């Protein structure tokens, strides 16, 4: 079983309308049957083409595991519930985001946005900071593919009190690194009461390799996924969430360059991690997260000195697992049964009040928001590698709000929550448009008829 990334150029749909169905049809035409997309992004677009990159799963044993539904399946919401204001906050993994592209450095933005929302639904890339996770108390921590399904209307979230977290880790050739990971799990059990029913060591270990696409996005390859799935199958009734710790192969020179370039280099590990967790969460409908293990003593002993602040959490961490354990501890249950999704307490697409993204980002959550009529707040200051102009999409009136920074995004959320039209807060206040619409009365129609007869 194999996970890899592939670039595909797809002709643009007329007026960029019905993009979800259009891209799915084009994908099915270009990719071999049996290859399943687990991740999708448009890295660049113009009037003629979409430059797309897909994370692809090949070699799935369909008789053994039920084939998952397409990531492009879309169910339009029929209502918007307004009893609470729930924001989805995304910083896509592997795109070199100025804020949130390193080690949990979008956490301050998440905490600010959480103050003006009832709930913030976010993902590991935003708040995972190696041994730290300071996500807001009103945050729901879910894997990226789950957020996609939530926005697409095919899954709902059920907040819970705690999860039983199954930990799967490499049987590391250096015993000290394996022991450090077990110690980190035990620290979580002893401090905030993590329920970890079992730690399973994979031997031989999972094979993960980090790579960069031509667009600059971080991606990679995963081999040996069937061993992870076998462990999950064997423990089906004994866990609620899955934490995976494994080595990610990366050239040591690139490893050093990442810490020496003052945050200018795209984080190379996150992309392949997202590919893995997307696949696991999609196949089993459970919360999942991944953390990298140190490769060897040489890497562990590298002295980077004082690093750029956004990299500091990674520079001081030993195991990197504590952030995902804390997140998975209370990650919500994923619900896809249509009847259960309507139960009280479920959070579905009808409950999403807005989506906050870095400017230029177009993936399934953005396209789902477009189709669902969900307001989108795009932040210019969070510069990234994507080359898209969001204004070219066929938004409804006042659906897209492009702001300079996350402080301004919080203001937009406050206005949306209050039901205040944003233009009413700016000056000069535009004049109200007055349209003179003339209608023919019965008398004028009769007069016109008489005139026509006289002629």
Q: What is the mean pLDDT of residues 320-325?
A: 96
Q: What is the mean pLDDT of residues 95-123?
A: 97
Distance of CA 33 to the CA centre of its chain: 26
pLDDT band at residue 448 using 50, 70 and 90 as cut-offs = low
- Distances 95 to 316, 330, 387, 408, 426 between C-alpha atoms, Å: 24, 27, 11, 22, 33
Question: What's the CA gap between 437 and 84, in Å, rounded?
Answer: 39
pLDDT band at residue 296 using 50, 70 and 90 as cut-offs = confident
Q: What is the mean pLDDT of residues 130-142?
A: 96
Q: What is the mean pLDDT of residues 426-445?
A: 85
Question: What's the CA gap between 284 and 233, in Å, rounded?
Answer: 9
**Cβ–Cβ under 8 Å, residues 218 and 269:** yes
What are residue 249's DSSP bridge partners?
209
**Cβ–Cβ under 8 Å, residues 314 and 95:** no
Q: What is the mean pLDDT of residues 14-36?
A: 92
Q: Is the dihedral of CA 57, 58, 61, 62 positive or negative?
A: positive
Residue 312 predicted with pLDDT over 90: yes
Average pLDDT of the chain?
93
Run of H or E residues at 182? helix 175-191
pLDDT band at residue 378 using 50, 70 and 90 as cut-offs = very high
Question: What's the CA gap between 163 and 397, in Å, rounded?
Answer: 41
- Distances 208 to 15, 211, 231, 437 between C-alpha atoms, Å: 39, 10, 17, 66
Mean pLDDT is lowest, of 17-26, 51-60, 301-310, for 301-310
Maximum C-alpha span of the chain:
105
Residue 124 predicted with pLDDT over 70: yes
Locate 389 and state its tokens.
């102009």
Locate 191 and state its tokens.
């401090």
Residue 63 predicted with pLDDT over 80: no
Higher-confidence position of 453 and 120: 120
pLDDT band at residue 62 using 50, 70 and 90 as cut-offs = low
Tell me the per-residue pLDDT of 247-285, one tens digit each, with 9 for 90 and over: 999 988 888 888 888 878 999 999 999 999 999 999 999
Tell me the per-residue pLDDT of 195-232, one tens digit each, with 9 for 90 and over: 999 999 999 999 999 999 999 999 999 999 999 999 99
Q: Is the dihedral of CA 241, 217, 121, 22 positive or negative?
A: negative
Question: What's the CA gap between 393 and 16, in Å, rounded?
Answer: 6
Mean pLDDT is lowest, of 114-123, 146-155, 296-305, for 296-305
3-state helix, strand, coil in the chain (%, to 5): 35, 25, 40
Q: What is the mean pLDDT of residues 169-176?
A: 92
DSSP string, 337-382: -HHHHTSTT-B-GGGEEEEEEETT-EEHHHHHHHHHT--EEEETTS
SS3 213: coil
Locate 370 and state its tokens.
């477009």
Question: What's the CA gap between 278 and 25, in Å, rounded?
Answer: 21
Q: Is the dihedral of CA 382, 388, 391, 393 positive or negative?
A: negative
pLDDT value of residue 299: 83
Q: Which residues of 229-241 are buried (b: 16+ CB within 10 A; e: fewer)?
A: bebbeebeeebbb
Residue 452 predicted with pLDDT over 80: no
Tell me the per-residue pLDDT of 389-429, one tens digit each, with 9 for 90 and over: 999 999 999 999 999 999 999 999 999 999 999 999 999 99
* 100 phi, psi to nearest 5 deg: 95, 10
What are residue 221's DSSP bridge partners?
209
Distance of CA 262 to the CA centre of its chain: 25
pLDDT value of residue 303: 84
Residue 155 predicted with pLDDT over 60: yes
Residue in this structure with the two tokens 């993204």, named with its chain if needed: 357
**Cβ–Cβ under 8 Å, residues 126 and 89:** yes
- The backbone region for 74, taken as left when phi is positive above 0, alpha when psi lies in -120 to 50, beta otherwise, is beta
pLDDT value of residue 53: 97
Question: What's the CA gap between 204 and 196, in Å, rounded?
Answer: 22
Closest alpha carbon to 58 in 239, 235, 242, 225: 225
Chain length of the chain: 455
Question: What's the CA gap between 256 and 86, in Å, rounded?
Answer: 40
Eight-class DSSP state of 429: P
pLDDT value of residue 65: 47
Residue 64 predicted with pLDDT over 80: no
Other Cβ atoms closer than 10 A to 95: 28
Mean pLDDT is lowest, of 56-60, 160-164, 355-359, 409-413, for 56-60
Residue 383 predicted with pLDDT over 60: yes
Question: What's the CA gap between 419 and 410, in Å, rounded?
Answer: 14
């Amino acid at each position: 079983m194999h996970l890899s990334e592939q670039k595909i150029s797809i002709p643009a749909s007329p007026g960029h309308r019905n993009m979800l169905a259009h891209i799915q049809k084009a994908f099915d035409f270009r990719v071999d049957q049996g290859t399943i997309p687990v991740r999708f992004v448009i890295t660049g677009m113009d009037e003629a083409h979409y430059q797309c990159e897909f994370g692809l799963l090949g070699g799935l044993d369909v008789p053994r595991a039920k084939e998952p539904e397409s990531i492009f399946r879309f169910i339009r919401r029929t209502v918007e519930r307004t009893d609470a204001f729930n924001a989805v906050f995304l910083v896509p993994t592997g795109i070199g985001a100025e804020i949130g592209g390193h080690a949990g450095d979008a956490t301050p933005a998440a905490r600010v946005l959480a103050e003006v929302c009832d709930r913030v639904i976010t993902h590991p890339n935003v708040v995972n900071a190696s041994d730290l996770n300071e996500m807001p108390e009103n945050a729901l921590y879910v894997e990226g593919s789950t957020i996609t399904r939530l926005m697409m209307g095919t899954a709902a979230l059920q907040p819970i009190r705690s999860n039983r977290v199954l930990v799967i880790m490499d049987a590391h050739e250096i015993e000290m690194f394996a022991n450090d990971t077990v110690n980190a799990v035990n620290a979580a059990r002893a401090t905030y009461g993590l329920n970890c029913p079992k730690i399973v060591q994979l031997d031989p270990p999972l094979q993960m390799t980090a790579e960069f696409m031509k667009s600059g996005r971080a991606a990679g390859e995963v081999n040996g996924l069937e061993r992870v799935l076998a462990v999950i199958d064997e423990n089906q009734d004994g866990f609620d969430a899955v934490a995976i710790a494994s080595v990610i192969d990366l050239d040591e020179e690139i490893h050093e360059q990442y810490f020496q370039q003052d945050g200018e280099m795209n984080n190379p590990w996150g992309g392949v991690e997202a590919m893995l967790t997307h696949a696991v969460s999609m196949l089993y409908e459970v919360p999942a997260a991944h953390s990298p293990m140190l490769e060897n003593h040489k890497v562990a002993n590298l002295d980077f000195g004082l690093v750029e602040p956004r990299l500091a959490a990674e520079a001081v961490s030993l195991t990197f697992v504590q952030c995902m354990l804390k997140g998975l501890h209370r990650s919500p249950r994923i619900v896809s049964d249509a009847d259960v999704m309507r139960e009280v307490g479920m959070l579905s697409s009808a409950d999403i009040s807005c989506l906050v993204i870095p400017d230029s980002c177009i993936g399934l959550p953005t396209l789902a928001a477009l189709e669902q009529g969900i307001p989108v707040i795009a932040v210019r200051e969070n510069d990234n590698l994507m080359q898209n102009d969001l204004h070219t999409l066929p938004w409804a009136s006042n659906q897209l709000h492009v702001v300079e920074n996350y402080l301004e995004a919080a203001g937009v959320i406050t206005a949306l929550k209050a039901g205040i039209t944003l233009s009413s807060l700016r000056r000069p206040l535009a004049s109200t448009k007055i349209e003179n619409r003339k209608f023919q009365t019965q008398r004028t129609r009769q007069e016109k008829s008489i005139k026509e007869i006289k002629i």
